[in-house]
Amino acid sequence: MTRVAELMLRRPVRADARRNFDALVEAARAAFAELGTDVPLEEIARQAGVGIGTLYRNFPTREALIETVYLREVEAVCLAADEVADLEPWAALKAWLRRFITYVGTKKALIGALNRNSGTLSACRDSLYDAGGPLLLRAQQAGLVRADVSIDDLMRLITGIAAANFVDEAQRDRVMEMALDGFRLTGAPAPASSAP
């Protein structure tokens, strides 16, 4: 079982406890995005509408809360692969990569705060590769992407783009389009539309 799947096991069974858990994770996600991972835990509890004791019952350490927020974000990106799977192969791959690049661009603070020895980062990477790999393979089998491109190649390329500082989102999208053109198979038919 992956660490991403373990997130569901951490979630309480009782409905009221599950609501508190989810409220804490959502409040932490918003607070970390706005104020960084050093935001006071009391503020997160307040935003979630629970007491600090409830926060500590669910997340005994700041690291446990950061890890759970990160795992939930990775889970959403993995699920996005299923959501686009019915699109034509090139559109599906591009749509998922757009979701992935948005995720990477907004999660730098979380990644920096995680314990790199915990195994969480590598487990999440494996889950992301497992989600995107079939989309890449499908595009390759359709003759749209070079056969020598691996999911590792693709993820490193997109992660590098996400880490760059761009003037705006439009510039980021142009750079991503140029990068994607680099691994399209020469002579591959152009996509039917400019869908994601």
Q: Which of 46-50, 143-147, 165-169 has the lowest mean pLDDT?
A: 165-169
Q: Among 96, 187, 76, which residue's Cα sits nearest to residue 136?
A: 96
Which pLDDT value is given to residue 95?
93
CATH of 3-183, one of 1.10.10.10, 3.30.420.40, 3.40.190.10, 1.10.357.10: 1.10.357.10
What average pLDDT score do residues 22-50 get? 92
pLDDT tens digit sequence for 54-96 = 999 999 999 889 888 888 888 889 999 999 999 999 999 999 9
Sketch the domain layout of the chain as residue ranges: 3-183
pLDDT tens digit sequence for 159-170 = 888 888 889 889
Q: Among 161, 76, 70, 74, which residue's Cα sits nearest to residue 116?
A: 70
